[in-house]
Amino acid sequence: MGARETGHEVLAAVLRISDGQPQVLAWQRAQEPDLGRWALPGGRLRDDEDVERSVLRQLAEKVDVREVAHVEQLGVFSDPCRVPGVRLIATAFLGLVPSDADPAIPDDTAWRPIAPGEGPAIAGAAFDHDTIVSAARDRLRAKLSYTNLGFALAPREFTISALRDLYVAALGHSVSATNLQRVLTRRALLEPTGSVAPPGPSGGRPAAVFRFTDRALRVTDAFAVLKPPGEHGRGAVT
C-alpha cells in the first residue's frame, strides 16, 4: 500500500458569551463529506504562510478579525482518520470575542451554543470539530483561573455582577461576585472607571463600573483554580 498524501489545515474555535451562554462560531457545510454539519472556520495552510498568519487570514474570511480580542494556538490534531480521504493534520486556535461585539458574519455562518457539561460540546459538528471545541472550552476555563483572560470576554467597561455572569457562563458553575472582585483586585487586574451604571428596573444603589488594567494576556497566579460551589466556599479561588 502506498503512502497517503498528507495535508495541513488551520482551524479556529472562536468563542464568545452571549445571553449567558458560551457560543462558538461555525459554518454549515454545503458539500460532502459531512454535508449540512457545522464546521469551524479554517482551511488549508498555504506554502507561503505560517499557522499564525494562516488563522488570521482564515478568520478574516468569516468574521471581522478586529472584533477578536485574543487568539492563541490550541493544539495539533493529527488522528490519521480525523477526516476521510487524504490525511489532514489540523493546527487549531482558540479565539475570543467580547460579549458586546457583534461582528458581521456570512449567511452560512452562525454562533452555535456550547454545552457546559459532558457529552458533545456542539450539536451536529463535522469531523472531529466537537473535540476541538471541547478543548477550546476547557482551555478557556483553565486560563480564567490563572490569567487575566477575562478581558477578552468582557466589554471594555462593566459592573462586577456583569463580569461575574460572564465567568459563570464560561466556567459552567456559580461564582461569587464578591469573591471574584476580591481576587481580581488583589491581582491588580481591575480598576474603577469612576462612573456608575444606571439603576436596574428594580432600582437600588447604582453599581460601580470597572475595566481591566491590561488587555493583553498575562499569567497572574500560575496555581490558582476557580472551584465550583461546595469546594472551599461559593465559587472559591485557591
Q: Tell me how far apart the alpha carbons of residues 193 and 11 are, in angstroms, rounded to a whole number.
A: 37
Residue whose C-alpha cell is 458581521: 104
**DSSP line for 140-203:** HHHHHHHB-GGGGTS-SSB-HHHHHHHHHHHHTS---HHHHHHHHHHTT-EEEEEEEPPPBTTB
Residue 56: other Cβ atoms inside 10 A: 17
Q: Tell me how far apart the alpha carbons of residues 233 and 31 are, in angstroms, rounded to a whole number.
A: 50
Return the C-alpha cell found at 1. Answer: 500500500
pLDDT digits (tens, 9 = 90+) for 187-203: 999 999 999 998 766 66
Give ranges for CATH 3.90.79.10 in the chain.
6-144
pTM for the whole thing? Answer: 0.91
Q: Tell me how far apart the alpha carbons of residues 65 and 172 are, in angstroms, rounded to a whole number.
A: 27
Stronger pLDDT, 139 or 228, i.e. the higher one:
139
Cis peptide before 201 (omega within 30 of 0): no
The CATH code belonging to domain 6-144 is: 3.90.79.10
Which candidate, 183, 191, 186, places its Cα nearest to that of 158? 191
Collapsing DSSP states into helix, strand and coil, what is residue 108? coil
Confidence bin at 237 (pLDDT 50/70/90): low
- Asked if residues 158 and 209 have their Cβ atoms less than 8 Å apart, the reply is yes
pLDDT digits (tens, 9 = 90+) for 1-60: 456 689 999 999 999 999 999 999 999 999 999 999 999 999 999 999 999 999 999 999
- Please, what is the Cα angle at 97 between 144 and 199, to 5 degrees? 80
- Asked if residues 99 and 155 have their Cβ atoms less than 8 Å apart, the reply is yes
CATH class belonging to 147-212: mainly alpha
pLDDT digits (tens, 9 = 90+) for 84-142: 988 999 999 999 999 999 999 999 999 999 998 777 899 999 999 999 999 999 999 99
- DSSP 8-state class, residue 13: E
Phi, psi (degrees; rounded to nearest 5) at 180: -60, -45
Residue whose C-alpha cell is 481580581: 184
Give ranges for CATH 1.10.10.10 in the chain.
147-212
